[in-house]
Amino acid sequence: MLYIGCHLSYSKGYEAMGKQALEIDANTFAFFTRNPRGGAAKAIDPEDAAKLRGILTENSFGKLVAHAPYTMNACAADPKIRTFAREAMADDLKRMEAVPGNYYNFHPGSHVKQGPEIGIQLISEQLNEVLREEQSTIVLLETMAGKGSEMGRSFEELRAIIDRTDLSSKLGVCLDTCHIWDGGYDIVGDLDGVLEDFDRIIGLDRLKAVHLNDSMNPLGAHKDRHAKIGEGHIGADALIRVINHPLLKKLPFILETPNDIDGYAREIKFLRENFND
Ligand code: FE
Ligand code: FE
Ligand code: ZN
């Protein structure tokens, strides 16, 4: 069973996302927990969340991969921005309990001239304040392209954050194919080698989800511009090898390609046709 889906809009609520997923033959999806550019989160209607839970169980969905707002920067130099990041994540993790047992993915942050060492320290400090033993959500650090001073540009940086987080049993990693390609990991020429590196440095047991994207830029470009499947430098063949890789094929795959809903439906169909159960 291939678990595949895309980003869906939360604007019409939880049940609406579940219904839309079914319409496009998705059996997982991503959504922003609040406006990705920041601001307050809409209150959750418990009945609406219960309807989504029903859809997920009845249709054997894989884990959902919620996405934290882009404006969340746990390692900002400005303490006000760090406070927003901490409060938003704590609030999001409470809200995630409306659909328990899923994933919550976030961009580790940008250290903005403070250096990666301070970045690692500040991100793990935030996680140490926010993670709770009783939460049912696993928080995923996303692999980043290394644009500017982005943290998470290497497996080593993610490992260092995990090492300094006390409740690391609540942590995992979301591997973004566009980002690691742009970060210099050759998933086209040597997918096995990249996964061996991941296993040696982080451990494959931490790998919980994949953002499946093509890239507009060549290997190591550190740019982060997503392309449609088969229209970028990674290419359809390499992405088909990703979804079929024995170490990856059971994970939830989330498309973040530049598409409208019909484009996502077409990519899901294409990937299902090229998946070997
Ligand atoms: Fe992301
Ligand atoms: Fe991503
Ligand atoms: Zn990206």
What confidence tens digit (pLDDT) does each residue in 212-268 have? 999 999 999 999 999 999 999 999 999 999 999 999 999 999 999 999 999 999 999
Q: For 76, how many CA atoms within 13 A lie in the half-sphere containing its CB?
A: 15
**pLDDT value of position 36:** 72
> Which residues have a Cβ under 8 Å from the Cβ of 163 and sit 6 or more positions away?
none
Q: Which CATH architecture has domain 3-273?
A: Alpha-Beta Barrel (3.20)
**pLDDT value of position 34:** 85
Mean pLDDT along residues 59-87: 96
**pLDDT value of position 38:** 67
Q: Diameter of the chain by CA atoms?
A: 49
Instruction: List, for residues 94-140, the tens digit of each pLDDT value.
Output: 999 999 999 999 999 999 999 999 999 999 999 999 999 999 999 99
- Centre of ligand 3 from the C-alpha of residue 50, in Å: 31
Q: Where are the domains of the chain?
A: 3-273
Helix, strand or coil, per DSSP, at residue 172: strand
Dihedral sign, CA of 112, 118, 120, 123?
negative
Residue 274: count other Cβ atoms within 10 Å of its Cβ: 16
Mean pLDDT along residues 70-85: 95
- Centre of ligand 1 from the C-alpha of residue 165, in Å: 21
Q: Please write down the HEC assignment for all residues of 6-69.
A: EECCCCCCHHHHHHHHHHCCCCCCECECCCCCCCCCCCCCHHHHHHHHHHHHHCCCCCCEEECC
Instruction: List, for residues 25-37, the tens digit of each pLDDT value.
Output: 999 999 998 877 7
**pLDDT value of position 90:** 97
CB 25 within 8 A of CB 269: yes
Q: Which helix (H) or strand (E) holds 254?
A: strand 252-255
**pLDDT value of position 267:** 98
pTM (predicted TM-score): 0.97
Q: Which ligand is nearest to the CA of 209?
A: 2
- Centre of ligand 2 from the C-alpha of residue 41, in Å: 21
